[in-house]
Structure 1
Amino acid sequence: MLKHKAYKFRIYPTMEQEILIAKTIGCSRFVFNHFLAKWEETHKATGKGLSYSSCSKEIPVLKQELDWLKEVDSTSVQNSVKHLAEAFDRFFKKQNERPRFKSKRNPVQSYTTNIQGKSQLPEVSIVGNKLKLPKLKWVRFANSRGVEGRILNATIRRNATGKYFVSLCVEQEIDELPKTGSSVGVDVGLKHFAVLSDGTVYQNDWYFRSLEKRLAREQRKLSRRQLIALGKNIKLSEARNYQKQKRKVARIHEKIANKRTDFLHKVSTEIVKNHDVIGIETLQVKDMQQNRTLSKAISDVSWSAFFRMLAYKADWYGKTVVKVGRTFASSQLCSRCGHRHKDVKHLGLREWTCPDCGTHHDRDVNAGLNLKREAGRILASSTVGTTGLA
């Protein structure tokens, strides 16, 4: 079955290509902000917004007024309008907040371009360690893995450390993995990152905490250099020491994010390969982060990213992820007799004995068993479509 898959590579543009990337990012941001302002004005005047088609028809007129918009890739400008329309669609569906104006001061900047014509095929777009992109032509990149299928679009991104990356969205045939006949419940937590119903434990490596002291020290240096620059009436964008220290702080954040993402990919892939049905919790992570005692720890473990990886990898490989309702008390129920022991609400209670049947439970393994059983019940019921298959 044809699926969409993304390949991310680091690219090494020349100085001329860096200038063109900066121009394209700036033009895409300008067009996004221009039509967002127009959208807001129209809504205030008429009570209705604009549409993608009405905005895209105005782009040629805008190019006639502003010649510098013609210097960059036309599809990147078109895609910025498309992204705006999609952002409003998600806003009206209550999937995210209202679209905001993009700032050039954001440390991460990007634009999306379409790969058209014969270059949609990897063998045409990729030759050795060079990748062909619209307007940029051939760009050197770290060709770490083969790209298969038809390339749909490419997103060029410059991150806070000044590195450049390209993400290729590809439509390709992905073979389903062989069935194992196994089902599992996944209980995520803070002491252990995840505990499966079969007893498998994935430890929490606390990537942020491992570099927290170093990060705090470098951030204090950054604050001091900011005060020095402002005291001398130097713009922060022109203060070299400040900018060097800013990149140093960004590299620490990047290291933390890379370690965490690598771990999440390895764990999610292993679970999807070994199990056909995966039962997971429905967690309101944003609400849980309101707890000031646990907010930093919850942010560090990235449960939302982990569940998202499980969902799309299961879709690729023919496996099933079942989201169990948020009201299901997976930790409090005895997995043997079903008795609800409310004392287990306290996070400090890691083991308990059921007062009804006398079974001794490990808190996390018991929760995993309950999630596994509930996922099986949901799959077997006739209300699967309304309960939450990921």
Structure 2
Amino acid sequence: MSYPANVKFEGDYLKLNRKIGKVYCRSHRDFEGTIKTVTISKNSDGKYYASVTVDDGLEKPETSTEGAECTAACDSDFKSESVGGKAIGIDLGLTDFAVTSDGSKFDNPRHLAKHQQNLKRKQQKLSRKQKGSNTRDKARRLVAKVHSKISRCREDFLHKLSRKIVNEKQVIAVENLNVKGMVKNHKLAKAISDCGWGMFCTMVKYKAENEGKTYIEVDRFFPSSKTCHVCLNQVESLPLDIRNWTCEHCQTTHDRDINASINIRNEALRIISLGTSETANGGNVRRLGGKISCLLDATPNEIGSPNYIACN
């Protein structure tokens, strides 16, 4: 339920209207600006939350890539050691939740696994209760409380990590993952859903936009893991169980995830420099009906590219 007018905070109380009056609440921050609307919602565990929309009177900053040009210039030879600090590529995974192009790895908290035993016991108790009874309703709320705990822990982790990345970087690049398609794999569906990749990308995007920073997604078909970021040599296949591999062309040993994040960052910088939404090396290439898309013909003939053709 929303209350669009005559809403204000008075100490530890929220005044909604004359009929409801003052409601005790726990506010986690002070509001600066004019309160527009307050939306009251009730979770499945029986707790009420108030979402407050505030007009702070500040204009939304324009998106800027200031500092990325220097980084792109430093990356012209595609050397990881010459990378600047304004742009970052992020490779999302299951073992490590996020691996960045500067070599940082953030462990996957696995919130569902931590509360799995507690959730299992409460679900078993719920299944033994008689349908329609008060004890079943109490057991249902206990199960919902565990799910709410897991959800809040996940959101807390994602908010803190996204805020850290946005505060430190000007350009943030991630891979455009097809999460809905990935969860169709019944062996990994629970682990993928527990990560919250989509929620994380959404948080990074709106936080970057609010501060005038650039958020960019690289096409999911871009071979970030199979391409050597040093010489751009691309291997034909790279199974998921191979976490480290050596490039046959330049003999560089790569950590699979760090190499992918560097390639994602480099590709994002190329997209920015070209001023286009298409990938710079390979175009928007995907296999259709067993044939390579005709967009491959538009691939730039760059030195060092796996598609480079020497001209006489």
> Normalised by the size of structure 2, how large is the TM-score?
0.78
Change (3 A) 1:341 1:386: closer
Quick one: percent identity of the two aligned structures? 40
Q: Does structure 1 residue 293 correspond to structure 2 residue 187?
A: yes
Q: Can you list the C-alpha shifts for 1:222-241, whole angstroms capped at 9, x where unaligned?
A: 0111xxx24xxxxx2xx111
1:150-229 equivalence runs, <5 A: 150-172=34-56, 173=58, 182-225=86-129, 229=130
Contact 2:182 2:189 in 1 (8 A): yes
Q: Does structure 1 residue 144 correspond to structure 2 residue 28?
A: yes
Change (3 A) 1:200 1:378: same
* Counterparts of 1:386 and 1:377, CA distance in 2: 8
Equivalence for 2:253: 360
Task: Give the partner amino acid of 1:240.
Answer: N
Name the SS for the 2:199 alignment partner: helix
Contact 1:131 1:139 in 2 (8 A): yes
Superposition CA RMSD, Å? 2.2
Name the SS for the 2:2 alignment partner: strand
Change (3 A) 1:386 1:367: closer
* Counterparts of 2:278 and 2:250, CA distance in 1: 35
Name the SS for the 1:185 alignment partner: strand
1:113 shift after superposition: 2.8
Change (3 A) 1:150 1:262: same
Q: Does structure 1 residue 253 correspond to structure 2 residue 137?
A: no
* Counterparts of 2:279 and 2:266, CA distance in 1: 18
1:150 shift after superposition: 2.1
1:386 shift after superposition: 11
Equivalence for 1:67: none
Q: Does structure 1 residue 128 correspond to structure 2 residue 11?
A: yes
Equivalence for 1:106: none
Contact 2:271 2:278 in 1 (8 A): no
Contact 1:196 1:368 in 2 (8 A): yes
Change (3 A) 1:318 1:385: farther
Which stretch has the larger CA shift, 184-193 or 315-324? 315-324
Task: Give the partner amino acid of 1:143.
Answer: S
Q: Does structure 1 residue 316 correspond to structure 2 residue 247?
A: no
* Counterparts of 2:279 and 2:31, CA distance in 1: 37
> Normalised by the size of structure 1, how large is the TM-score?
0.63
1:326 shift after superposition: 1.7
* Counterparts of 1:297 and 1:277, CA distance in 2: 28
* Counterparts of 1:334 and 1:136, CA distance in 2: 63
Task: Give the length in aligned residue pairs.
Answer: 259
User: Where in structure 2 are there 5+ consecutive unaligned residues?
Assistant: 68-84, 281-312
Name the SS for the 2:52 alignment partner: strand
Change (3 A) 1:351 1:131: same
Task: Give the partner amino acid of 2:157.
Answer: F
Change (3 A) 1:156 1:248: same
